[in-house]
Amino acid sequence: MKLKKINSTLQENLSKNGLLEPTTLQKKTFGTIKSGRDVVIFGPKEQGKTTAMIIAALQRTERPVEGEIATRVLIVVKDKFEVERLMEVFEAYSRYTDLRIYGVHDYTDLDEDKNLLSLGNDILIGTANRLNEMFASAGFDVNQLKMYIIDDIDIQLRNRLEPRLHRLSESIGKTQRLYLATEFVEQLDMFADKSLSEDAEWFDFYDDDEEEEDNE
């Protein structure tokens, strides 16, 4: 996949999995996400929002850092099935990197989750409920956290998970935030006001101007 200054190992893994050309969404958001700014993305499923998120997470981590065991990217997803799906995709796209990627959800064993994370983790994928439980009971180390990502934030806010998502955000403190949604929901404005930096970039791939540019 041809993206400016993408990690060479990541680029090779993407190509081996059939991702040879980026979508418009992936191409237009990659540089801004890589810059470290907070980003919100609205777009249809076929534009590859989740893939853009995975690319961003792997680009940011690249490889394990010697001596560091704390999570560097935290990804909140809507349910157990999405945790399991993303774990499979991350495994395929992170080959030869030795990145430590772990998934937790409402049906995993909390004590085992905490023990495994204590051995070292780079990317943690989980549901809002389980991650809140871990933060409350484990003294979760956020000192090395580089990204806080919420995938399908529109669905999670509609499912009344805003208090849990906000509690996680407050616990984390200052780090880059990336929110991805298929459609706009009213709760997002309030959530963004509470959690995003003032210079956050919003991308709307339903916008007429975007469509016109794509057709040129």
- How many percent of the chain have pLDDT more than 70? 94
**End-to-end Cα separation, the chain, in angstroms:** 22
For the chain, where are the alpha helices, taking DSSP H only?
8-16, 24-35, 49-61, 80-93, 110-118, 128-138, 153-158, 162-172, 186-195, 208-215
How far apart are the C-alpha atoms of 127 and 130, rounded to whole Å? Answer: 6
Q: Tell me, what's the pLDDT at 139?
A: 61
Q: Is the pLDDT of residue 1 over 90?
A: no
Strand partners, 75: 125, 149
Q: How far is CA 187 from CA 78, 108, 133, 172, in A?
A: 16, 29, 23, 21
Strands of the sheet with 176-181, listed across from one edge: 101-104, 123-127, 73-77, 147-150, 176-181, 39-42, 201-204
Average pLDDT over residues 6-33: 94
- How many percent of the chain have pLDDT more than 90? 75
Local confidence band at 45 (pLDDT 50, 70, 90 cut-offs): confident
Q: Is the pLDDT of residue 41 over 90?
A: yes
Q: Is the pLDDT of residue 216 over 80?
A: no
Strand partners, 104: 126
What phi-psi label fits residue 33: left (phi over 0), alpha (psi between -120 and 50 degrees) or beta? alpha
